[in-house]
Amino acid sequence: MSSSSKTSAGEHPVRRRRIPLVAVIALALLACVAATVGVVSCAADHVSSDLTDQEMTCCWEDGATPAWMSVQLGIRIPEGASDRRAGYKVGQRFDSGLLSFVLPSEEAETYTGRLIEEGTVMSENRHPEEKGYRPAAAFGHLGLPEPETFVQGLRKTSLCPDDLASPEGKYLQRCVDLFAHEFTAGTTRIYIRSTIEPSITPPPVNDAS
């Protein structure tokens, strides 16, 4: 017998430990569960993304022009305003109206000053939303970024028509969130969003203006 096959006195042959069959089965099951969870998670993320996309693109009414939305909200658009945009979205419980236009910053300051009450100061956006922020009625539908994501140059406030003592406030028909964003030096975009009761809101109509 060769020396390699002999066992020295006092030594015991080395035995290889075998993994019990139960442990092998358990590991296999855990691997399957992990894989299944991964697949389900990916599928859920995909479904959630699809639903979000559908929510973003669903239920916007045609014909909701800036002129029509101006009347619905009671927000008078200054004659010199440019890049006027509007949207109207039908919801399950409430509808949403969007209105936006651009003014020279001095005119925007005068305009917002005539809309809010004297002594009211529009606040800065100290806690901005993330860039991927997508509210139910998003200005992204109008090809615009969401004003809640801005920090620099943004001022905001909320207004309701009840007892609003201001020159432009007397025309206000709905409660609105008002944003003013000076996106370039000397140029400000006005954003207005409103939640509207559908039972008292007529459907948008075609309007050439």
Condensed to tens digits (0 to 9), the pLDDT of residues 49-92 reads: 444 555 566 899 988 999 999 999 999 999 999 999 999 999 98
Reported as a single tens digit per residue, the pLDDT across 137-159 is 899 999 999 999 998 999 999 99
CA proximity to 198, closest of 48, 39, 70, 89? 89
| pLDDT tens-digit readout, 21-35 | 776 576 777 775 566
CA neighbor of 188 nearest in space, from 122, 135, 141: 122
| E runs forming strands in 11-148 | 82-89, 95-104, 123-124
Alpha-carbon dihedral sign for residues 142, 194, 135, 82 = positive
* C-alpha torsion 75→78→84→87, nearest 10: 10
| pTM value > 0.85 | no
Residue 83: per-residue pLDDT: 98
